[in-house]
Amino acid sequence: MSVVVVGNPKPLSRTRAAAELVATKLTGSAPEHVIDVVDLGAALLGWGDPKVAEAKEIVKAADLLVVASPTYKATYTGLLKLFLDQFGAGELGQIPTVPLMLGGSPAHSLAPELTLRPVLVEIGASCPVPSLYLIDSEYETAPELDRWLEIARRVLAR
Ligand SMILES: Cc1cc2nc3c(=O)[nH]c(=O)nc-3n(C[C@H](O)[C@H](O)[C@H](O)COP(=O)(O)O)c2cc1C
């Protein structure tokens, strides 16, 4: 079961579409669940909310995770961090995970590898493939997506 997590304050964003595209191209079918973290709203500001608990259970049941964020100020969003902070250290139990970020320019292309990946690893994600960064205006057609998919399919062979 593949699951997409999107931490964009804008719902139904390009970041979400890109994450769904990546999951679909990787597995050959659409992700079973898409968690648009913004839908959890103020529940993320406390601990133990049932909606957040349900989202966490979906994430933990995945056998492939795509965790996506737009680039805000050279890093992933605070919204995504609120959700990731709900997980304990190691809680994901080594689920194969793809960190994905969209940005407006290539200036922050290392941001997913240097900022998002360490947080995911801390909560127990296994990230065996280089993190993916796509320019927002061309995420569907970027040649680096095809090159990345070739590597990712090999490494994450399912
Ligand atoms: C508050 C804010 C900060 C941003 N900071 C950056 C940045 O540091 N680097 C960058 O490449 N793009 C930056 N952007 C552009 C967004 O990353 C880009 O528009 C986003 O990936 C588009 O995805 P979306 O359509 O899914 O929102 C910023 C956008 C906003 C709103």
> CA 131, CA 109: separation in Å to the nearest integer?
9
**Sign of the dihedral through C-alpha 28, 33, 35, 36:** positive
- Report residue 141 as tokens: 């057609």
> CA 121, CA 97: separation in Å to the nearest integer?
9
77 to 88, 103, 116: CA distances (angstroms): 19, 12, 10
Report the atom number in ligand 1 closest to the C-alpha of 13. Answer: 26
108 with 133: CB under 8 angstroms? yes
| Single pTM value for the model | 0.98
DSSP state of 147: H
* Segments making up each domain of the chain, as ranges: 2-152
pLDDT at 94: 98
Which fold is adopted by the domain 2-152? Rossmann fold (3.40.50)
Q: Collect all residues with Cβ–Cβ distance below 8 Å to 62 and sequence separation of at least 6.
A: 1, 2, 3, 33, 95
Determine whether the shortest distance from the Cβ of 7 to ligand 1 is under 6 A: no
DSSP state of 117: H
Mean pLDDT, range 132-157, rounded to an integer: 95
Cα of 157 vs centre of ligand 1, distance in Å, is 31
Q: How many Cα atoms are found within 13 Å in the side-chain-facing hemisphere of 46? A: 6
Tell me what percent of the residues of the chain surpass a pLDDT of 70.
99
Determine whether the shortest distance from the Cβ of 11 to ligand 1 is under 6 A: no
73 with 108: CB under 8 angstroms? no
Cα of 15 vs centre of ligand 1, distance in Å, is 10
Q: Are strands 95-103 and 125-126 parallel, antiparallel or unpaired?
A: parallel
Report the atom number in ligand 1 closest to the C-alpha of 15. Answer: 26
Mean pLDDT, range 55-84, rounded to an integer: 98
pLDDT at 157: 78
pLDDT at 158: 56
Determine whether the shortest distance from the Cβ of 75 to ligand 1 is under 6 A: no
Tell me what percent of the residues of the chain surpass a pLDDT of 90.
99
> CA 141, CA 136: separation in Å to the nearest integer?
10
